[in-house]
């Protein structure tokens, strides 16, 4: 590995001069600057990032911490994050759950973090965040000047969905819940149950974990009984897909036998047969917003602006009665889009 020392020697100049020339800092003559750059080129020199970061105490890197790559969910968020990063001179580092996540976070190998991994504890995040290490959290609500919670507006979408069901006359409702430690699941469930409560409806809750298979198994259990719900709300699309699969295997169809609604609007949702009613989230923009605010904070100490990411109910075939001739991607709007019609 060739070092800056080699470059300096080759250009017949001091190490300092070489450093200034390479970084365009300090004060250096045009002639020598050229000479140094040529030497660097010739020797195929690339600065050692560790030495540099060690000295500068800045990495110019944003770290994104997610739990896993699968599930079609993070994909668009990551794309949004990536697209905005491309416009900056920051680097991006994505780290799935593991020892490494902890390490990288703790070691401050990044200048700021975006956290979307429930395996990282609240205490961890709170302890880490500081003026010099701002953190955006997308899956929890924490109070701190150095932490920006960017959360989905779950209540909005859930209320629209509830209203959609209620307006069509569905009264026997069930809720299929996702992972218990999930903020989003909690909020979706709380909202749905609260709405039901307001209409004096009792809603049984089935505990799943956001996976397709958990939705499938819950459905199997439910379908055993002869007292079927009229509609189920699943806390995410994966479970809705599993639920529908079980229904199909039992010879039942949505929405005729049971109406089904999911959450997230993953790509599959609109292509399934029947297409799945769900709640859409602007994930791409979610990602860009996170990066924008984070970099703004790092560069200019612009205070964080907490905001909710809007959600929107998308009625599709799986929950619309007597409308079987739609296109599979149709977005027919039945009710008003406002949140709380009562």
**Footprint of DNA on this chain (CB under 7 A)?**
1, 3-5, 13-17, 19-20, 22-23, 25-33, 45-48, 51-52, 54-57
Angle between helices 15-23 and 4-11 (to 10 degrees): 100
The alpha carbons of the chain give a radius of gyration, in whole angstroms, of: 26
Q: How far apart are CA 121 and CA 99, in angstroms?
A: 13
Q: How far apart are CA 275 and CA 288, in angstroms?
A: 28
Nearer to DNA, 46 or 248 (CB): 46
Say which entry of DNA, its own copies, none residue 144 contacts (CB below 5 to 8 A, set by partner kind): none
Residues 112 and 133: beta-carbon distance below 8 Å: yes
Minimum CB separation from its own copies for residue 98, in Å?
A: 5
Minimum CB separation from DNA for residue 128, in Å?
A: 16
Q: How far apart are CA 142 and CA 124, in angstroms?
A: 12
State the number of binding residues for its own copies (CB under 8 A): 47
Instruction: Candidates 121, 328, 332, 338: give the one binding its own copies (CB under 8 A).
Output: 328
Task: Please give the full DSSP string across 53-69, using - where no structure is assigned.
Answer: HHHH----EEEEEES-S
Nearer to DNA, 53 or 88 (CB): 53
Task: Please give the full DSSP string across 266-321, using - where no structure is assigned.
Answer: -HHHHHSSSPPBEEE--HHHHHHHHHHHHHHHHHH-PPP--EEEP-EEE--GGG-T
Nearer to DNA, 52 or 312 (CB): 52
Minimum CB separation from its own copies for residue 94, in Å?
A: 4
Instruction: Candidates 12, 26, 69, 145: give the one binding its own copies (CB under 8 A).
Output: 69
Say which entry of its own copies, DNA, none residue 339 contacts (CB below 5 to 8 A, set by partner kind): none
Distances (CA, A) of 271 to 176, 234, 329: 22, 18, 7
Q: How far apart are CA 234 and CA 208, in angstroms?
A: 9
Does 89 participate in binding its own copies (rule CB under 8 A)? yes
Going residue by residue from 239 to 278, which x/- string records binding to its own copies, judged by CB under 8 A? Answer: ----------------------------xx--xxx-----
* Strand ranges inside 225-311, DSSP E: 231-234, 259-261, 278-280, 307-309
Does 5 participate in binding its own copies (rule CB under 8 A)? no
Minimum CB separation from its own copies for residue 11, in Å?
A: 20
Nearer to DNA, 41 or 197 (CB): 41
Cβ count near 321 (within 10 Å): 12
Say which entry of its own copies, DNA, none residue 72 contacts (CB below 5 to 8 A, set by partner kind): its own copies
Which of 65, 64, 47 lies closest to 56, judged by CA? 47
Query: Which parts of this chain interact with its own copies (CB under 8 A)?
Result: 1, 44, 46-51, 53-54, 61, 68-70, 72, 74-76, 78-79, 82, 85-86, 89-96, 98-100, 103-104, 106-109, 127, 267-268, 271-273, 328
């Amino acid at each position: 590995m060739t070092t800056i020392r080699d470059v300096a020697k080759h250009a017949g100049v001091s190490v300092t001069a070489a450093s200034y020339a390479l970084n365009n800092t300090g004060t250096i003559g045009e002639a020598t600057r050229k000479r140094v750059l040529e030497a660097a080129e010739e020797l195929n020199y690339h600065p050692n990032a560790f030495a540099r970061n060690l000295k500068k105490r800045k990495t110019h890197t944003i770290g994104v911490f997610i739990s896993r790559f699968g599930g079609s969910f993070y994909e668009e968020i990551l794309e949004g994050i990536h697209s905005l990063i491309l416009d900056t001179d920051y680097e991006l580092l994505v780290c799935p759950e593991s020892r490494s996540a902890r390490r990288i976070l703790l070691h401050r190998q990044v200048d700021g973090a975006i956290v979307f991994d429930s395996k990282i504890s609240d205490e961890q995040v709170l302890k880490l965040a500081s003026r010099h290490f701002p953190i955006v959290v997308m899956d929890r609500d924490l109070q701190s000047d150095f932490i920006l919670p960017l959360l989905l507006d779950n209540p909005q979408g859930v209320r629209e969905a509830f209203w959609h069901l209620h307006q069509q006359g569905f009264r026997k409702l069930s809720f299929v819940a996702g992972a218990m430690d999930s903020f989003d699941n909690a909020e979706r469930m709380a909202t749905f149950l609260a709405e039901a409560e307001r209409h004096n409806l009792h809603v049984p809750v089935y505990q799943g974990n956001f996976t397709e298979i958990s939705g499938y198994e819950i459905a199997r259990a439910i379908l055993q009984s002869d007292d079927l719900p009229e509609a189920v709300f699943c806390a995410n699309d994966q479970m809705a897909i599993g639920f529908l699969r079980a229904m199909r295997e039992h010879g039942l169809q949505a929405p005729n036998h049971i109406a089904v609604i999911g959450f997230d609007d993953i790509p599959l949702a609109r292509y399934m047969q029947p297409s799945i009613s769900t709640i859409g989230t602007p994930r791409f923009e979610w990602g860009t917003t996170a990066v924008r605010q984070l970099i703004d904070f790092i560069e200019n100490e612009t205070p964080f602006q907490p905001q909710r990411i809007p959600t929107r109910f998308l009625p599709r075939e799986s929950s619309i009665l007597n409308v079987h001739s739609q296109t599979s991607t149709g977005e027919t709007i039945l009710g008003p889009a406002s949140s709380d019609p009562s």
